[in-house]
């Protein structure tokens, strides 16, 4: 099984490639055709991947075919068999790299993943105004 897998994770890809092209004054050399895996049709993950694919096609004339799947294994299997070059993944990338959950068998985990881009994690904690919590350290001992 091919243990070297590339994972495409987020919509910042277009910005990353565009930034590279602007920085050196040349468009990056991309394959004329790519195959990506993504979430199932109708999902926000598929819509994001399709938007990125559309931008790649317009800017770089690079065709992207998306293989949709509703399961983690379904998104990673085409990568391990060489049928896809990139995967538009989320938490399954971490599970596959660690060999946990669906990937907790020798045939599937841990996988040697290469994350090429990702999105910022927007995480916050909501508290009552009168709880006296201003910093993360103020959470200690609170319920």
49, 88 contact by CB (below 8 A): yes
Q: Over the Cα atoms of the chain, what is R_g?
A: 19
Residue 24: pLDDT band (50, 70, 90) is low
Instruction: Give 118-143 pLDDT, tens digit per residue.
Output: 777 778 888 899 998 988 899 998 87
Domain of residue 120, CATH code? 3.40.190
Instruction: Give 37-55 pLDDT, tens digit per residue.
Output: 999 999 999 999 999 999 9
When divided into structural domains, the chain yields a total of 1
- What's the domain range around 90? 4-139
Instruction: Give 57-116 pLDDT, tens digit per residue.
Output: 999 888 999 999 999 999 999 999 999 999 999 889 999 999 999 899 988 889 888 888
* pLDDT value of residue 20: 47
* CA atoms of 114 and 128, how far apart (whole Å): 41
CA atoms within 13 A on the CB side of 95: 16
* pLDDT value of residue 55: 92
Eight-state DSSP code of residue 88: B
* pLDDT value of residue 5: 41
Structure tokens, 45: 């993950």
Alpha-helix residue ranges (DSSP H) falling in 3-133:
13-24, 44-60, 72-80, 91-98
Axis-axis angle for helices 91-98, 72-80 (nearest 10): 60
Residue 23: pLDDT band (50, 70, 90) is low
Q: Looking at per-residue confidence, does 16 or 78 come out higher? A: 78
* CA atoms of 44 and 46, how far apart (whole Å): 5
- For the cut 80, the answer to whether the pLDDT of residue 10 exceeds it is no
* pLDDT value of residue 40: 95
């Amino acid at each position: 099984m091919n243990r070297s897998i590339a994972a495409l994770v987020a919509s910042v890809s277009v910005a990353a490639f565009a930034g590279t092209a602007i920085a050196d004054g040349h468009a990056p050399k991309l394959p004329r055709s790519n195959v990506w895996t993504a979430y199932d049709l109708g999902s926000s993950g598929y819509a994001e991947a399709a938007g990125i694919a559309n931008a790649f096609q317009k800017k770089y004339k690079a065709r992207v075919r998306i293989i949709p799947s509703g399961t983690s294994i379904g998104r990673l299997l085409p990568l391990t068999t060489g049928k896809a070059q990139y995967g538009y993944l989320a938490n399954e990338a971490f599970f596959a790299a660690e060999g946990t959950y669906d990937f907790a068998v020798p045939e599937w985990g841990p996988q040697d993943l290469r994350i090429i881009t990702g999105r910022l994690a927007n995480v916050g904690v909501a508290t009552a105004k009168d709880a006296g919590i201003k910093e993360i350290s103020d959470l200690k001992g609170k319920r």
